[in-house]
């Protein structure tokens, strides 16, 4: 009898503590979500306020008057359409290049046999430890000698080789079964046919995940774009956006926020649409 009351009360106690625990979890998580997301909401609201309203103390939450003219002014000052076209072109080309070259190299390092394979792979792994940011000065020197500064090829080609991609595809093919490929080989399918009709389709999920990683990286690759491009015709979204940050931006925070909105909102929309794939691709780096 007394046993039963004890177990009942402890179960009741546990349920109460679980409810309190859930509330505590919600408080912390909601606080984190607000800290993470509020600046973006604030940017969006601010992009519709007048420059005078932005300096008010205490600040207003919703715009008193919705100033759509901030956006037309931004477009007058900077060709954002052009910036988007440049960013899209550069990121798509670099991503396609990274996926194709990494897929081929990763497959070869994992499955094909040839002398010197491990030495080459080992040397290339050194590139993983060398962030481009550290060797930018001689790299810019090299691109200048090639007359590639201020060109699309200069923005794209140096980013195509990817040791991370090669490494990820190599891991992928090492863990994948070789049976189907061997069966096709017995049926007389040559290496090229096997690669295109069996290997590439089987690597589909990995190609998708790596494309996302690669695209995000290339889209946000500000430092590289900054040192390679000085002409505004070649400005990407990041470079064009950074020109709004002047020493004295105090008077034009409305334009600054409108420009930031133009740069961030499309990315946020794509992220919300593909969030599951994007998060899986980024957390999948580990496996």
Q: Which of residues 207-266 bind another protein (CB under 8 A)?
A: 216, 219-220, 222-223, 226-227, 237-238, 241-242, 244-245, 249-250, 253, 256-257, 259-260, 263-264
Measured at the CA of 144, the angle between CA 139 and CA 147, to 5 degrees, comes to 130
CB of 63 to another protein, least distance (A): 13
Q: Which is nearer to another protein, 175 or 177 (CB)?
A: 175
CB of 88 to another protein, least distance (A): 13
CA distances from 193 to 96, 167, 185, 202 (A): 21, 23, 10, 13
The token duo for 95 is 């991503």
Q: Which is nearer to another protein, 56 or 85 (CB)?
A: 56
- Peptide bond between residue 58 and the one before it cis (omega within 30 degrees of 0): yes
Q: Which is nearer to another protein, 120 or 202 (CB)?
A: 120
CB of 183 to another protein, least distance (A): 18
Half-sphere exposure of 212 (CA within 13 A, CB side): 21
Instruction: Give the binding-site size for another protein (rule: CB under 8 A).
Output: 98
Is there binding between residue 161 and another protein (CB under 8 A)?
Answer: yes
The correct pick among 48, 54, 218, 234 for binding another protein (CB under 8 A) is 54
82, with CB counted inside 10 A (0-12, 13-18, 19+), is middle
- Contacts for 105 with CB less than 8 Å, ≥ 6 apart: 166, 169, 170
Segment 32-51, which members bind another protein (CB under 8 A)? 32-33, 35-37, 39-40, 42-43, 46
Segment 185-204, which members bind another protein (CB under 8 A)? 191-192
How would you label 118-148 residue by residue, b for 16+ Cβ within 10 Å and e otherwise?
Answer: eeebeeeeeeeeeeeeeebeebbeebeeeeb
The stretch near another protein (CB under 8 A) out of 72-80, 88-96, 180-188, 278-286 is 278-286
The token duo for 62 is 């919703």
CB of 282 to another protein, least distance (A): 6
Is there binding between residue 136 and another protein (CB under 8 A)?
Answer: yes
The correct pick among 9, 16, 59, 232 for binding another protein (CB under 8 A) is 59
CA distances from 242 to 121, 216, 245 (A): 38, 18, 5
From 42, 45, 105, select the one nearest 70 (Cα to Cα): 45
The stretch near another protein (CB under 8 A) out of 1-9, 75-83, 88-96, 109-117 is 109-117
Is there binding between residue 79 and another protein (CB under 8 A)?
Answer: no
From 171, 180, 182, select the one nearest 202 (Cα to Cα): 180
């Amino acid at each position: 009898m007394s046993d039963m009351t004890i177990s009942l009360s402890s179960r009741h106690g546990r349920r109460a503590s679980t409810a309190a625990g859930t509330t505590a979890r919600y408080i912390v998580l909601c606080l984190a979500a607000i800290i993470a997301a509020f600046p973006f909401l604030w940017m969006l609201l601010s992009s519709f306020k007048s420059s005078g309203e932005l300096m008010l103390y205490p600040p207003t939450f919703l715009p008193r008057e919705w100033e759509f003219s901030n956006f037309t002014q931004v477009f007058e000052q900077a060709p954002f359409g052009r910036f988007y076209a440049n960013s899209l072109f550069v990121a798509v080309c670099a991503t396609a290049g990274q996926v194709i070259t990494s897929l081929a190299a990763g497959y070869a390092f994992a499955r094909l046999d040839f002398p010197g394979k491990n030495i080459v792979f080992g040397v290339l792994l050194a590139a993983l430890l060398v962030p481009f940011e550290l060797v930018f000065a001689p790299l810019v020197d090299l691109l200048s000698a090639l007359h590639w500064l201020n060109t699309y090829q200069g923005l794209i080609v140096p980013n195509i080789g990817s040791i991370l991609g090669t490494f990820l595809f190599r891991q992928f093919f090492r863990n994948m079964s070789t049976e189907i490929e061997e069966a096709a080989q017995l049926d007389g399918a040559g290496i090229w046919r096997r690669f295109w009709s069996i290997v590439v389709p089987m690597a589909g999920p990995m190609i998708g995940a790596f494309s996302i990683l690669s695209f995000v990286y290339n889209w946000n690759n500000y430092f590289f774009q900054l040192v390679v491009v000085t002409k505004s015709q070649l400005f990407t979204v990041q470079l064009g956006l950074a020109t709004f940050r002047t020493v004295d931006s105090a008077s034009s925070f409305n334009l600054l926020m409108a420009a930031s909105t133009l740069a961030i909102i499309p990315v946020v929309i794509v992220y919300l649409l593909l969030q599951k794939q994007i998060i899986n691709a980024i957390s999948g780096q580990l496996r």
